[in-house]
């Protein structure tokens, strides 16, 4: 089973509501669907999303990187799996989102060839999961409305986007919490928007109101390791690292420093399934639980992330895989079923993708 051809297709899907963080605003989900065909006619699907504000990769850079990777893996056997994955990662430096898309398609092909669903190939057995949903950064009235709508749709875990003004953020969280039922879990995400001092003041103010917060995600700049340690030493709210951990090496560095309580793994951010599994295994060694997140990719990439979560369910205990349900529709036929907060992996071989409308 040899790689014959790689083709790319740009998909654009309107979001139900704009996705807004302290770093960016997105009105249309734009992803790049990758299709690898083998000489015996098998098709593997991968996907990535250009996220300049986080990964530094644009649509043009991803397309160029995939072209370079294709030169190195064309004609190689997918059955020699370790060799072909090494070829993907050695083709060029960085470009993790492009590498992730290629990896997802290769894993899809490898599992299809062995006639097993991908999650089974990776060692998983769980098929049904629930995800939380993101409440975009907005004026407080709109955020309360969106949070109540999400709660009424059955979501009991909300990620509240913050980070533009920490004092205003304090009032946002107080008012959202007051409007919601007490059983709703609140995760907060500042997307690198605060200083360490601002974060401590914010968390102390929230704790003084006895508002239960499950965690605070990436409050300071991604390279501010000392800032994360400063916050952890002065507050009791668990810290989740996102942009601070791109690679397995990053994970070791931050875990050795005991700077955070949890790590957010994203396929686009780390370079694909193999690296995500490695980061999860590293976190297990340190006794640190993980979240499986996404970068506003479509159902192929997010579905692949769920297969990874199934394979490491003992360490990946939190899911933030809401991108497909933020969209008005999906062009993907087959694969993981996204039904509100519920997600279910099927038993088709590989990822189970049947095509793109």
Please state, in angstroms and rounded to a whole number, the distance separating the CA atoms of residues 101 and 143: 33
Please tell me the total number of residues recorded for the chain in this structure: 357
How many CA atoms within 13 Å lie on the side-chain side of 308? 32
Beta-bridge partner residues of 150: none
The secondary structure of 72-114 as a DSSP string is HHTT-BTTSHHHHHHHHHHSSSS-HHHHHHHHHHHHHHHHHHT
Q: What is the DSSP letter of 117?
A: B
Catalytic position from the list 127, 159, 161, 187:
161
Reading the block at residue 17, the tokens are 């509501």
Cβ proximity of 268 and 304 under 8 Å: no
The answer to whether 253 is a known catalytic residue is no
Catalytic position from the list 99, 266, 269, 275:
266
Cβ proximity of 343 and 146 under 8 Å: no
Cβ proximity of 311 and 124 under 8 Å: yes
For the chain, first and last CA: distance in Å?
26
The answer to whether 4 is a known catalytic residue is no
Beta-bridge partner residues of 210: none
Residue found under tokens 């098929």? 127
- Report residue 166: phi and psi, to 5°: -65, -30
Residue found under tokens 């942009």? 243
Q: What is the DSSP letter of 121?
A: H
List the catalytic residues. 161, 266
């Amino acid at each position: 089973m040899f790689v014959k051809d790689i083709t790319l297709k740009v998909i654009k899907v309107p979001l139900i509501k704009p996705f807004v963080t302290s770093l960016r605003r997105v009105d249309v989900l734009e992803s790049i669907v990758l299709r690898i065909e083998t000489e015996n006619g098998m098709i593997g699907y991968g996907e990535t999303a250009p996220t300049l504000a986080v990964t530094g990769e644009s649509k043009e850079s991803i397309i160029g990187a995939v072209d370079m990777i294709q030169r190195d893996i064309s004609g190689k056997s997918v059955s020699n799996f370790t060799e072909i994955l090494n070829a993907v990662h050695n083709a060029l430096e960085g470009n993790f989102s492009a590498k992730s898309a290629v990896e997802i398609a290769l894993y899809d092909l490898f599992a299809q060839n062995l006639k097993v669903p991908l999650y089974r190939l990776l060692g998983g057995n769980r098929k049904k999961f629930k995800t939380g949903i993101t409440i975009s950064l907005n004026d407080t009235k709109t955020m309360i409305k969106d949070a109540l709508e999400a709660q009424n749709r059955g979501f009991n875990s909300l990620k509240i986007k913050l980070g533009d003004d920490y004092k205003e953020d304090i009032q946002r969280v107080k008012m959202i919490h007051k409007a919601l039922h007490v059983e709703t879990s609140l995760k907060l995400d500042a997307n690198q928007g605060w200083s360490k001092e601002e974060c401590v003041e914010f968390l102390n103010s929230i704790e003084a109101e006895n508002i239960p917060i499950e965690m605070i995600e990436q409050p300071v700049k991604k390279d501010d390791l000392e800032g994360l340690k400063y916050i952890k030493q002065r507050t009791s709210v668990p810290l989740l690292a996102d942009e601070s951990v791109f690679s397995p090496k990053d994970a070791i560095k931050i875990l050795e420093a005991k700077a955070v309580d949890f790590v957010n793994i994203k396929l686009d951010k780390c370079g694909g399934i193999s690296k995500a599994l490695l980061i999860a295994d590293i976190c297990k060694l340190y006794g640190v639980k993980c979240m499986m997140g996404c970068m506003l990719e479509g159902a192929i990439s997010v579905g692949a992330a769920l297969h990874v979560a199934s394979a490491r369910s003992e360490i990946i205990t939190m899911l933030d895989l809401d991108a497909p349900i933020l969209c008005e529709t999906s062009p993907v036929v087959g694969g993981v079923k996204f039904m509100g907060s519920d997600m279910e992996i099927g038993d088709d071989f590989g990822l189970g993708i049947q095509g793109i409308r």
